[in-house]
Structure 1
Amino acid sequence: MALYNSFAELKADKPELAQELLDVFGKGEWQESNLSVYDTLEDFAYYELTEGWYIDKHFDQQDYNGAPNPIDYIDLESLGEALVQNGDESYIYSTESDQVVTTDWGWS
């Protein structure tokens, strides 16, 4: 994962991704927010398992508050896909190249 403190930092490092986000979401306050970029769905799923959403969860739970049950997935790619599909679109964005970008602020 790469953490960018603002859109300007992301644009300097990954101009094509920055332009894609701008094309999809337009200008807004999200540009001043932290942006986390995961190069693959696997990277995103691994982060969520080890440091994110699931860190305080017990894997014997039946309800993950709408998030997919990680026990239902064999590999990190399929878990990453499910997290993106079931996640909150207000802060998760998946590119066509399967990069995942999250923001603390949301895309408004």
Structure 2
Amino acid sequence: MSPSADCLFCKIVEGEVPADVVAQDEHAVAFRDISPQAPTHVLVIPRVHQPDVGSLAEAEPEAAVGLLRLARRVADEAGGSYRLVFNTGADAHQTVFHCHGHVLAGRSLGWPPG
């Protein structure tokens, strides 16, 4: 799907909005969350616009795999265990409707999350 003119994450991908980018490749961009919930809290987004991870996997499977690879690379660089979270839909507290995964690491991540 082509970039959405009103999408914050599309604007980050295009370099129109600044972000603290920690890694990127041909499929995805990873940047620090502006409201971190863990010592390492990085968002990983595909360069293509899809509203959620299921839509990305269906429409652009290569981009979905690329996003997961970049998320793992970011998590490996953080060291140790990590959690990768995809919120899908408003009821799941997704606030930006461009697929994105949250890489959380750097502390004990108990269960249930919270």
Instruction: State the TM-score, normalized to the length of structure 2.
Output: 0.29
Instruction: State the TM-score, normalized to the length of structure 1.
Output: 0.30
Higher relative contact order (CA 8 A, sep 6+): 1
**Which structure: greater helix fraction?**
1
**Which structure: greater strand fraction?**
2
